[in-house]
Amino acid sequence: MDIVIYGLSLLAVLYYALLSNATFLVKILLCSIVLVLIGLRYLHKKVGWLFYPDFGSKNPFAVDSRIPRKPYEMNHRKRDAVLKQSFILGKVEGESFDAVVVGSGIGGLTVAAILSKVGKKVLVLEQHDQAGGCCHTFVDKNYEFDVGIHYIGEMDHGRYNRVLVDQLTDGQLEWAPLMNPFDRVTIGFGDDMREYPIYHDLERFAKELKLLFPVEEHSAIDNYVKLVKEFSQLPKTITGILKLMPLPLTKLLLKLGCYKKELMKCKKTTASVVRTLTTNKDLQTVFTYCWGDYGTEPENSSFKTQAGLMTHFSGTGGFYPIGGASEIAFNMIPVIERSGGKVLVNARVDKIVTGSNGNVKGVQVTKKGESCIIECPIVVSAAGIMNTCRSLLDSNIVHASPSFMKLYREDCVKPGVGTMSVFLGLNKSGEELNLKRQNTWAFTDSNAAMAGTSCEYFVQDNADTASDKEVPLLFISFPSEKDPNWNNHPERRGKSTVAIVTFAQWKWFEAWEDKPLKRRGDDYERAKKLIGQRMIEQTCQLYPQIEDCIDYIDIGTPVTNNHYISSTKGEIYGLDHNVGRFDAEVSAVLRPETDIPGLYLTGQDVLMCGFTGALMGGALTSCAMLKRDIFTDIWNLRKSAYPYSKKE
């Protein structure tokens, strides 16, 4: 009714302006008032929810949904009943859903859970045989391995991210802190090996480094900490505003020079900033050591990203989900089901179906040669930009989309670098082997960090020649030691696990891209074992006590990643996190709401990589879908339900 009254009032003013005997200037003034009011009404409708907390849908976080922690479920069959609900043709026939989400990574599950909390019925479809995306685990010979979750920051009680996760899991997801120092950097091997501890408090981080570097480097250390704080404090709201306002309005603000100073800072590369501080190669390595957490070498990454990562772990350090990463999906799925939603696996979506008018109509799923179309006016793709454009949408729809075509034309928007993983099962406990709740970033020399993927190892033509070189960077962790629940499984007592990750070129393994899992042939097995064995050998140089205890080995390559998480070239972080990706206009186009009516995007590509990036990407997409500022809703709940939380 208010819209009708508003419209009639405007018509009355316009009628008087055009047909009355008023002077020309009065008519111009009245017409101008009408235009301004129309513009204000448009802005109120489109972006009013960004400024008024109760604008739009109902508050998904109106009440604290935490309940007392239930006993951990140890029975694999009961866990599979939640995590491995298989899609069957006709299983959802006759049901109507408010939204379909393609992909069950943390971004997709976050959107589905938030929508469920406002009563929406959501269907989540996952191509793998287990829900969770990079948060899934696998069990073999009584060893359980996390494939993507190694440590997460800001999960202590009352922190903003923790509050959000609490509400999406009914408070069932618990977190165990890593030790302090939570990371350590090693450079070289044997007698030449140097070790640098990484403490989560930035002041302690600086203090400990000063004990290991000459006094002439102390100012560089202080300046690095100062810059980390400065760059991490660049307004975090900029990214959200650019991605949530109507795109024409965003482009107008950028052309007017809004946020110019802040956006220019984002263009400074990690390497360029670090080089202004010191020429000491070891110190440069320490300053840039964790670029592997977002996958872009210092020469091409934004220092804003590096600073954000450093502060992400500052304060209380890293945390690990008790019970392993599968607890994340295991505790989010019941929240989604509460409103009638479903999370179904073995459901590869062939295409997002659109109508003759270009609007989304649903998705097509094919299984065992039979296809069915699940009709739904809203589809959320958590499958990544590349998969969405190249596989899920018809090419004519993509070419008709100005936003998608801009991303196609931008060379800076490309897949990240591929990865290789080695999972080791040890027949002794972590206590016996003196393994720690800590990660090791192992560099072969002090040039490896700054050189990144341009170093000699990564320009090799194939796996054979690459295996002749030392692997320049290894990430090594012990998942069994991080999980306090590990020994509660009787079959795991007296055992422990190791996860080793490095980067690998897609071209080394692309010849086997279309070969079926476990049947890629002897040449493939030989190629992956060459590099995998090199990774194990270098790890054993740092941890010689594990060498004689290895009784399980599993090696994954970039094509393994493609199979399990539907990456495009073996990447685990989605789009490359280079400086170009965070160009203001490109960042604005990488938004939740697309220019294809009914299609939304979520996950790592929308905001940032990693668990927290995808989690916040899911929250951002939920804002766009519900037309409500749920970030303020979470903040308000945090203040009322977490009274002893620290200020951020």
CB 178 within 8 A of CB 482: yes
Interstrand relation of 379-381 and 99-102 (parallel, antiparallel or unpaired): parallel
Distance (Å, rounded) from C-alpha 607 to C-alpha 382?
12
Most confident range, picked from 19-28, 40-49, 566-575? 566-575
183 phi and psi angles, rounded to 5 deg: -125, 155
Helices (H) and strands (E) in the chain, counts: 26, 20
Closest Cα partner for 296 from 566, 613, 573? Answer: 573
Q: Looking at residue 405, what is its pLDDT? A: 84
pLDDT above 60 for 2: no
Percent over 90 (pLDDT), the chain:
66
Distance (Å, rounded) from C-alpha 198 to C-alpha 209?
9
CB 266 within 8 A of CB 234: yes
pTM, full prediction: 0.91
Average pLDDT over residues 569-595: 88
Least confident of 101-105, 452-456, 551-555: 452-456
Of residues 463 and 431, more confidence is placed in: 431
pLDDT band of 54, cuts 50, 70, 90: low
Distances (CA, A) of 186 to 192, 357, 443, 541: 10, 58, 6, 11
pLDDT tens-place string over residues 422-442:
999 999 999 999 999 999 999
Burial 68-97 (b: 16+ CB within 10 A, else e): eeeeeeeeeeebeebbbbebeeeebeeeeb
Of residues 454 and 483, more confidence is placed in: 483
pLDDT tens-place string over residues 496-521:
999 999 999 999 999 999 898 889 99
Stretch (H or E) spanning 238: helix 237-244
CB 17 within 8 A of CB 34: yes
Least confident of 36-40, 324-328, 644-648: 644-648
Distance (Å, rounded) from C-alpha 465 to C-alpha 458?
10
- Average pLDDT of the chain is 88
Q: Alpha-carbon torsion 167, 168, 170, 173, what sign?
A: negative
Q: Looking at residue 247, what is its pLDDT? A: 82
Task: Quote the tokens at residue 604.
Answer: 């790592």
Q: Looking at residue 29, what is its pLDDT? A: 65
Q: Looking at residue 47, what is its pLDDT? A: 58
pLDDT above 60 for 291: yes
What single DSSP character describes residue 72?
Answer: P
Q: Looking at residue 70, what is its pLDDT? A: 95
Stretch (H or E) spanning 465: helix 463-466
Of residues 448 and 193, more confidence is placed in: 193
Distance (Å, rounded) from C-alpha 150 to C-alpha 194?
24
pLDDT tens-place string over residues 541-575:
999 999 999 999 999 999 999 999 988 889 999 99
Distance (Å, rounded) from C-alpha 392 to C-alpha 395?
9
Q: Looking at residue 1, what is its pLDDT? A: 45
Q: Looking at residue 251, what is its pLDDT? A: 80
Least confident of 321-330, 381-390, 409-418, 562-571: 409-418
Total residue length of the chain:
648
pLDDT band of 370, cuts 50, 70, 90: confident
Burial 193-217 (b: 16+ CB within 10 A, else e): eeebbbbbebeebbebbeeebeeeb
